Structure 1
Amino acid sequence: MTTFCSLLVALALLTPANAQPVASYACRANTKFGQHTLSLRQGVDATAPATVRPNTRFTIAVDPQPGTLPSEVKGFKLQEVRDLALRIPVPANTSYVSAQLTGGSGLNSSPSVQLDGNVAVVKVAGPIPGGAGYQLPTLSVRLKSGRRGTTVETKLKGTSYDDPGLTFQAKIKWKFITITAPVACYPDPNPALTRTSVQ
């Protein structure tokens, strides 16, 4: 069902072409028609101090850029996207202090952030309707630096389809059939978004 895969490609958390940097996700959708792989692109800005002293509190911020979902692709109607979760690991050589969300629009729900193990998870219940514009909130994580002589890197979560950093549910309609497809994604490649030297 190649057109279904084409639809999911178009679902790619769409962002302006000039958004820098761009996170590239390898994704897999599980449907009753089988599994389909696809690539998604998400513009994201991230900030952190260049240097910090040991045992000092500091903040990293991850700011996803605005996007627009398609309303229809190749005869498939995208009804909505729900239950989106974006995961950001707490960097090595730091300890977690707190996290908060600011901004965001077009989400039709109040986003939340919680710590799951050593990962900050941003959750958006939605639904975000097909054809709608939206922006995920900025995630600010307060950390405490570790030992001197190390580098703290902000990265996205995920190493495989079974260890995803981004998940969501896509509900689509084709003729008289409505399909809800769970989609699991991991960043590929996964370069550091920020680097902070502990001096």
Structure 2
Amino acid sequence: MRSTATRPRLPIVLALALTAVSVAATSATSASTAETPVDFACQAKPPIVGPQAFAIPAGVTATAPDAAAAGSTFPVSLATAPITVPGGVNGYTVRSISNLKLSMPIPANAVLTGKSLSGGSGLGSGVPSLTTSGSTLLLTVPGPIGGGQTFTLPVVHLDLTAGEKGTTVSTQLAGSSYSNPGLTFNASVPIFGFPVNVPTACYPSPNPVLSSTNVS
């Protein structure tokens, strides 16, 4: 006797299979958000007077899933808190800063598949950009940004594909010293009545992990 059971139609089977693949490709737990204080130790090097040390208080809010399946793609975003340009450093007036560069390592144990910027305010007339150089991401803000002005950097959005199971994908800023900075910019400072372009190097001190995603 011929069975009266009906077989699933082929298009339905394919649709279910594609749905399963799509879910596996994007498998990640719900994103969590953490705000982390990140203060920068900075050193300006005028061409006439000696190096000038100062600090810039800041912070980063990172949004990333707590866990993601190996081979899945997940988003991470890094948003800096508003930063105020010093109006003066050790008695020297800061007129403006320009060519600001903030660097961060591309997270280990993952492949970077996409990157973009959004938002930002008080950044001057230049257009910010996000580029890669080797294993480093570089956020560049041409400026100029006036001394004493508060600005907010664009939010950095990353698309990452998780690596091997049992590893961790972490985000962090770059920089460990004045000679290995994670933040640089040029400051316009009048010295003896003349405007001088002063290169400035900063690094996060301390440099905490901003987000951490376990690969399962």
Contact 1:29 1:36 in 2 (8 A): yes
Select the residue among 178, 182, 202 that pairs with 1:161. Answer: 178
Unaligned runs of 5+ in 2: 1-34
TM-score, normalised relative to structure 2: 0.77
Alignment of 1:87-126 (within 5 A): 87-108=103-124, 109-126=126-143
Contact 1:75 1:174 in 2 (8 A): no
Q: Against the structure 1 CA distance between its residues 128 and 184, is the aligned structure 2 distance closer, same or farther, given a 3 Å change threshold?
A: same
Alignment of 1:8-27 (within 5 A): 20-27=35-42
Alignment of 1:144-159 (within 5 A): 144-159=161-176
Select the residue among 132, 136, 148 that pairs with 2:153. Answer: 136
Aligned length: 181
Match of 1:140, SS? strand
Q: Percent same amino acid among aligned pairs?
A: 37
Amino acid at match of 1:37: A
CA RMSD, Structure 1 to Structure 2 (Å): 1.9
Amino acid at match of 1:85: K
Contact 2:166 2:215 in 1 (8 A): yes
Cα distance in 2 for residues equivalent to 1:180 and 1:112: 22
Cα distance in 2 for residues equivalent to 1:49 and 1:181: 40
Select the residue among 88, 91, 99 that pairs with 1:83. Answer: 99
TM superposition shift of 1:34 = 2.0
Tell me what 1:58 maps to.
74
From the two aligned structures, give the one with the greater strand fraction: 1
Unaligned runs of 5+ in 1: 1-19
Cα distance in 1 for residues equivalent to 2:52 and 2:90: 16
Q: Against the structure 1 CA distance between its residues 74 and 117, is the aligned structure 2 distance closer, same or farther, given a 3 Å change threshold?
A: closer
Asked if 1:198 is matched to 2:215, the reply is yes
Cα distance in 2 for residues equivalent to 1:73 and 1:28: 10
- Higher mean alpha-carbon deviation, 62-71 vs 80-89, is at 62-71
